Chains A and B, each alone.
Chain A
């Protein structure tokens, strides 16, 4: 079945850029997503990219998609302490009608 993998943990200093990486196995994914989960809360959609795009920029967020390598990344510029959270990569497959999530990357931002 589909599989989405992420590293567990990332630590950066405030003001630096953060890059969170994700790999997936399903080549028929139509949309790929980044969700953010703050402590004790549900998930919030941060951004998404359609599978025919290579890059999407949204203020401090840049999403890069390499379809050949099935690799998705999220870059957060000028990372702030408020960006500390767990970030989930997810893919949507039309055939399965469901989102498949990675295990999440915990981002810690040090002042």
Chain B
């Protein structure tokens, strides 16, 4: 099992460009999450999907959209990238929202110039 995979690993964008970060899990988990990690601030939840067909805002949703394409895949879209969105983005999954463990992908390092 690959666990949680993310593409791309690195990306550089110019201000105003758009892009989609992809995430997939092969553990048959119901819930999936997108976080951003900034130095000294830990991880902050952007959006999550409790189950296929549902998405909800997290702590910092502004500037982002998500799509739960199917049970395996959960994508994060930046429509018009801003330098404040420079960060490392992590996708995670869990069997359900109220469970002990979330499994994390390796991250995508995004720089917006």
Which residues on A are within 8 Å of B, measured CB to CB? Answer: 1, 4, 8, 31, 33, 40-45, 48, 88, 90, 92, 94, 97-104
Contact = CB atoms under 8 A, between A and B. Distances in A.
B97 A97 contact: yes
A57 to B, nearest CB: 17
Interface residues of B, number: 23
A74 to B, nearest CB: 15
Contacts of A102: 42
Contact of B42 (A4, A31, A44, A97): A4
Given A40-B106, A43-B104, A44-B104, A88 B43 contact: yes
A45 B42 contact: no
Contacts of A88: 42-43
Given A1-B59, A92-B98, A100-B59, 19 more contacts: A40-B107, A41-B106, A42-B90, A42-B92, A42-B104, A43-B90, A43-B92, A45-B100, A88-B43, A90-B42, A94-B98, A97-B56, A97-B98, A98-B45, A99-B45, A101-B43, A102-B42, A103-B40, A104-B40
